[in-house]
Amino acid sequence: MLIATNALVLKTIPYGDTSVISRLFTEREGKVSILAKGAWRKKSTTGSVLEPMNHIHLQYYHKYSREIQILKDCGFSAKYTHIRNNLHRTLFGFSIVEMLDKSTLDNNPFPILYRLGWRVLEKLNDEKNDVYSIFAFFLYQLSLRLGFMPEINQCRKCKSQLSTCIFDEQLGELVCLACSHQGKLQMDEKNMAFLRQLENLHLDDLETIRADRHSVLHAIQFLEKFTQFHIESLRRMKALPLANKLLLSEGMQ
Ligand SMILES: [Zn+2]
């Protein structure tokens, strides 16, 4: 069966002398691996189209009995040049792609998550937009779409209204100071106010958010801990630890 769809390129590895195998997050079929024969031959542009993080359109031959599908042709929908020209944006772009890869299953369509992925990368590609706010938005939406909504209004233990609170490492949730016994990440009132702005926020309204850098960085730390607590496959990441080093250098304690 010939399938035409759009996709985000998650990962590409060489296969033989001139071919590659790419893992794609397709709009129609979810995560799919495809073999691109001769992608790196001199006259072929396929190799550059199949670079990780690219947004592409493609046609491929799909057989459900086969683990790796065969590419017919492909082309760019977006290259995200401004992401690639900037180290911060590149690391967070790759973190987004990596998290999508780790949190989805093969041949399991997830169009909402696919759309979140390319829409967020599009925002990241606009130099006017704040890298960290976009990443916080992505993390919040990712956990929501995967079915893990963080409770940011009530203490998970005593149900009191949360103001200053702590991420409880055993519970994987925010608890008030009276209920906390362990946890290194403390969120103050301003940090929580930023998190609450992410609820019901549309991506196009991201620029309207008012928050200090410190609050955005704290929200990211919380959302990373939260998603990694609830989704085991997100604990082994390559790009994210590098992105986190940048976060730390931006003023996280
Ligand atoms: Zn409590």
Question: With contact defined as beta carbons under 8 Å apart, do 118 and 56 qualify?
Answer: no
Centroid of ligand 1 to alpha carbon of 73 (angstroms): 56
Structural tokens at position 229: 């607590």
pLDDT for res 109: 96
Q: Please report, rounded to a whole number, the percentage of residues in the chain having pLDDT higher than 90.
A: 84
Contacts of 117 by beta carbon, 8 Å cutoff, 6+ apart: 8, 25, 96, 97, 100
What tens digit of pLDDT does each residue of 33-48 get? 999 999 999 889 999 9
Q: Which residue has the tokens 């010939």?
A: 2
pLDDT for res 76: 97
Centroid of ligand 1 to alpha carbon of 192 (angstroms): 15
DSSP letters along 121-159, please? HHHHTSTTS-HHHHHHHHHHHHHHHTT-----SB-TTT-
Centroid of ligand 1 to alpha carbon of 49 (angstroms): 51
Centroid of ligand 1 to alpha carbon of 165 (angstroms): 9
Neighbours of ion ligand 1 (CB under 5 A): 155, 157-158, 176, 179
Q: Which of 22-31, 117-126, 191-200 has the lowest mean pLDDT?
A: 191-200
pLDDT for res 182: 77
pTM of the model: 0.94
What tens digit of pLDDT does each residue of 194-210 get? 999 999 899 999 888 88
Structural tokens at position 175: 């608890």
Centroid of ligand 1 to alpha carbon of 210 (angstroms): 28
What tens digit of pLDDT does each residue of 62-107 get? 998 999 999 999 999 998 999 999 999 999 999 999 999 999 999 9
Complete domains list, the chain, with CATH:
2-78 (2.40.50.140), 84-249 (1.20.1440.120)
Query: Is the pLDDT reported for residue 253 higher than 50?
Result: no
Centroid of ligand 1 to alpha carbon of 176 (angstroms): 4
Nearest Cα to Cα of residue 184 among 149, 214, 222: 222
Centroid of ligand 1 to alpha carbon of 175 (angstroms): 5
Contacts of 57 by beta carbon, 8 Å cutoff, 6+ apart: 4, 5, 6, 7, 74, 75, 77
**When comparing pLDDT for 243 and 4, which is higher?**
4
